[in-house]
Amino acid sequence: MREILDSDGLKFTNPTLSVDQVKKGLTKEAIAPYDKRKGFAAYDVCTLSGNGTFDATVGWAADTLKAVQTYTDRWHQASTDVYVSETSPIHLVFRCEIKGAASGPHVQVLLEVRTWENTTNSFTKEFHQKLSVHLTRTLRDELACTNKPDIPDDLQLSK
């Protein structure tokens, strides 16, 4: 990463969040009744700074599955269970059902992973995509989604 960002001063600059804190926060949001005023949190899971930055956040998606499936100008289906928007940042969404989650019309089941870099083309597109897919798979595994979404290692993010 230091070579890619061309910086010996590479450092994590986001507040420290453990995997367990993110997991507990997302699970709590899935189980609790939805609060329209409060909405859902976005978890800044990785910010690397050097000669440029790389950022990654996760959270429950603002879009519904139906909206993602019908808004084809923005979203495309990358696999059976994953939809991608390749705008900068890269957005990946997938259904993740949580054991004990609330039910009703406002329940959110789409998790969203957003990754972006702000450098002078230090990252290759392939490397950025690989980091995005790895984070998506890790999130699925840590939350133990009961619907077991398929997120292949070789997920193709490009149309």
Render pLDDT for 124-140 as a digit per residue (tens, 0 to 9).
Answer: 677 778 888 888 999 99
Could you tell me the pLDDT band of residue 1, with boundaries at 50, 70 and 90? Answer: low
> 81-134 pLDDT, tens per residue?
999 987 668 889 999 988 888 665 555 578 999 888 776 556 667 777 888 888
Please give the full DSSP string across 47-68, using - where no structure is assigned: EEEESEEEEEEEEE-SS-HHHH
What is the average pLDDT value for the chain, to the nearest integer? 81
The amino acid occupying position 151 is I
Find the mean pLDDT for residues 28-55.
Answer: 79
Residue keyed to tokens 């979203």:
75
Phi/psi for 82 (5° steps) reads -125, 135
pLDDT at 3: 57
